[in-house]
Chains A and B, each alone.
Chain A
Amino acid sequence: MSALEIVAAVRAGERSALAVVDEHLARIEAGDGEIHAFNAVTADLAREQAAAVDATVAAGGDPGPLAGVPIALKDNMCTAGVPTTCSSKILEGWVPPYDGTVVERVRSAGAVVVGKTNLDEFAMGSSTENSAFGPTRNPLDPTRVPGGSSGGSAAAVAADFAALSLGSDTGGSIRQPAAFCGLVGMKPTYGAVSRYGLIAFGSSLDQIGPFSRTVAESAALMEAIGGHDPLDSTSIERPPFDLQSVLDRGVDGMRIGILRELAGGEGSVDGLSADVLARTSEAASALEAAGATVTEVSVPSSTLGLSAYYMVAPAEASSNLSRFDGVRYGLRTDAATTGEMMTASRTDGFGPEVKRRIMLGTYALSAGYYDAFYGKALKVRTMMLQEFASVYADVDLLLTPTAPTTAFPLGDRTADPMTMYVNDVCTIPSNLVGHPAISVPYGVGDDGLPVGVQLLGPALSEPTIYQAAAALEAAAPTPEVAS
């Protein structure tokens, strides 16, 4: 049952929210031992919340636009009274004193939170293998990774443990796992969804967004979580987007550019596999057949995104993660002095990838290297903003693959960090410039696993992106991948 079918049935009183959530909890119970999508399952709270939705329906009240929909939340979103770990030992057992804005918004929309999902520690990774609590497996093939860092949220929806989920995307952490698990994954415009209560990784890059099986469900969840929030000073002052109403408008007359540097054209980044490029090119043809004009366009600086990102994101992370010092929350390792206690706590609490990025960021910001690395990276962001602005004068949206390959085997890329980082080569540019982008499933690769293609647009172009995503979904060669 899709999220929208659940909403219709619960609102009409044909199905109880409690029965719906019990079905999902039973699937979690049976299947999550193998998949490990969840760090915590909040069964009692979910049943309470579902019963409240049913009571509202029985009393003739409005249970909300997501009434009774089981939803899973990435475990870097603060939930009052429910442990929030970022899949790190340094926050193990910590219970936030408040709800993040998105948590409050999905609950007030009637969605039922079933649990907190696994992630790469502090959202740093592309496979969910960097979790302190063990990896998540891809429900479509448990020998493969689900992608990352929001791998638990992707796996939860792919395994039908939840109808919808939320992830966060700093360099591709929603879109890449969506592609690997055959789902729709959206990274909104920077500032379109509140970050209040999202534990920060790269503050100028992070955005929360939805995972779903279909574009229409993604649109419904985006409408529920978006819009201005006075508690986030980077939140854009505008109402939530109206997205569900544009889904049937088609792409007739729309101008789509294939971004050649990220899609195997002239001057392209290396490592994009042939099957993924073939699906991307078929997606372009399908959009053309549906009435869009498709041309090849160039954003030369997009090839510099990976290097710029691996300066900017670790720099911001090294600053954000300085708050984990054993004083106010989380793990403390005792030592004779406060300074030694802080070093001991951080050394015991952080895993290797987090340490690597904190050190990289500390280096990039340190005296003598700031201009050569971090300063340059900030100027690359300006170049990218200018080049994207110029290309969007000629086209409405851009098309690229979401990830260079389909889901890879567990353990395949853990030895060498660079082989993991290149996973995000196509998704990173949108984060650096704050633009929205969506991954939509489009067929399968040579190994039979799903391929995702990505639509990118300028800031606040969400309605256009959803309009094209719906057309792409309708043209996709295979039905959505079943669990």
Chain B
Amino acid sequence: MHVARLARLSLTDAEIDEFTGQLGDILEHAADIEALDVGDIEPTSHPLPMANVTRPDVIRPSLDRDLLLSQAPSAEDGQFRVPPILGEEP
């Protein structure tokens, strides 16, 4: 299933059957907005008018690296450790 692959989820055949029906029901309910003639109304992705916020470009303490790595499933030499990446399909 294409969407599951995009979402990096692996589904059993039973789950595919169940989810397909359920997601179909939800999309059917959403037919009310799909059918809506919204013309040239501007989209709102965020409820309040806000500009981007930046902080002064000065060095300040950050969280301790060893503490953060202690919560990782696998770490080595101060870095997160993962299985091989090269040679995979994108």
Q: Is A212 on the interface with B (CB-CB < 8 A)?
A: no
Give Cα distance in the complex from A330 to B68, angstroms: 12
Contact A236 B48 (CB under 8 A): yes
Which chain B residue lies CB-closest to A361? B7
Interface flags for B36-51 (1: CB within 8 Å of A; 0: not) read 1010011111111010
Which chain A residue lies CB-closest to B53? A233
Interface flags for A385-421 (1: CB within 8 Å of B; 0: not) read 1000000000000000000000000000000111001
Q: Is A216 on the interface with B (CB-CB < 8 A)?
A: no
Binds B, one of A14-22, A248-256, A259-267, A351-359: A351-359
Give Cα distance in the complex from A383 to B41, angstroms: 8
Interface flags for A186-220 (1: CB within 8 Å of B; 0: not) read 00001100000000000010000000000000000
| A304: contacting residue among B11, B33, B53, CB under 8 A | B33
Contact B52 A233 (CB under 8 A): yes
CB-CB under 8 A from B80, the residues of chain A are: 327-328
Contact A347 B10 (CB under 8 A): yes
Interface flags for A9-48 (1: CB within 8 Å of B; 0: not) read 0000000000000000000000000000000000000000
Q: Is A478 on the interface with B (CB-CB < 8 A)?
A: no
Contact A334 B83 (CB under 8 A): yes
Q: Is B78 on the interface with A (CB-CB < 8 A)?
A: no
For residue A233, give the distance in angstroms from its CB to the closest CB of chain B: 4
Given the interface contacts A97-B71, A347-B9, does A379 sit within 8 Å of B26 by beta carbon?
no
Which chain A residue lies CB-closest to B84? A337
Interface flags for A357-390 (1: CB within 8 Å of B; 0: not) read 0111011001000001101111111110100000
Binds B, one of A64-72, A176-184, A307-315: A307-315
Give Cα distance in the complex from A303 to B29, angstroms: 12
At the interface, is chain A mostly helix, strand, loop or mixed?
A: helix
Binds B, one of A107-115, A284-292, A338-346, A438-446: A338-346
CB-CB under 8 A from A417, the residues of chain B are: 22, 25-26
Give Cα distance in the complex from A265 to B63, angstroms: 54
Give Cα distance in the complex from A334 to B8, angstroms: 15
Size category of the binding interface on chain A: 35 or more
Contact B29 A310 (CB under 8 A): yes
At the interface, is chain B mostly helix, strand, loop or mixed?
A: loop
CB-CB under 8 A from A373, the residues of chain B are: 27, 30, 33-34
| B55: contacting residue among A230, A378, A418, CB under 8 A | A230
Residues from 317 to 339 in A contacting B, C-beta threshold 8 Å: 318, 322, 325-332, 334-339
| A416: contacting residue among B25, B32, B67, B68, CB under 8 A | B25
CB-CB under 8 A from A362, the residues of chain B are: 3, 6-7
For residue B42, give the distance in angstroms from its CB to the closest CB of chain A: 6
CB-CB under 8 A from A372, the residues of chain B are: 34
Give Cα distance in the complex from A120 to B82, angstroms: 30
Give Cα distance in the complex from A347 to B25, angstroms: 23
Contact A385 B67 (CB under 8 A): no
Contact B83 A379 (CB under 8 A): no
For residue B86, give the distance in angstroms from its CB to the closest CB of chain A: 9
Q: Is A434 on the interface with B (CB-CB < 8 A)?
A: yes
Give Cα distance in the complex from A334 to B73, angstroms: 10
Contact A356 B22 (CB under 8 A): yes
Q: Is A95 on the interface with B (CB-CB < 8 A)?
A: yes
Give Cα distance in the complex from A346 to B15, angstroms: 15
Contact A378 B45 (CB under 8 A): yes
Given the interface contacts A341-B83, A376-B36, A418-B25, does A346 sit within 8 Å of B73 by beta carbon?
no
For residue A72, give the distance in angstroms from its CB to the closest CB of chain B: 24
CB-CB under 8 A from B10, the residues of chain A are: 343-344, 347
Give Cα distance in the complex from A147 to B89, angstroms: 44
CB-CB under 8 A from B26, the residues of chain A are: 310, 360, 417-418, 421
Q: Is A306 on the interface with B (CB-CB < 8 A)?
A: yes
CB-CB under 8 A from A342, the residues of chain B are: 8
Which chain A residue lies CB-closest to B25? A418
Q: Is A234 on the interface with B (CB-CB < 8 A)?
A: yes
Give Cα distance in the complex from A190 to B47, angstroms: 7
Given the interface contacts A332-B73, A379-B41, does A343 sit within 8 Å of B83 by beta carbon?
no
Q: List 29 A-B contacts (CB under 8 A).
A: A95-B71, A190-B47, A191-B48, A191-B50, A234-B46, A304-B32, A306-B29, A307-B30, A310-B30, A311-B30, A322-B8, A327-B80, A327-B82, A328-B68, A336-B83, A337-B83, A342-B8, A346-B7, A346-B9, A347-B11, A358-B9, A359-B7, A362-B3, A379-B44, A381-B43, A381-B47, A382-B44, A421-B26, A433-B47
**5 nearest A-B pairs in the assembled complex, by CB-CB distance:** A434-B47, A378-B43, A332-B73, A381-B44, A379-B38
Known: A204-B45, A234-B50, A325-B8. 12 other contacts (CB 8 A): A307-B29, A339-B8, A346-B7, A359-B3, A359-B4, A362-B3, A373-B34, A378-B44, A379-B36, A379-B38, A380-B38, A417-B26
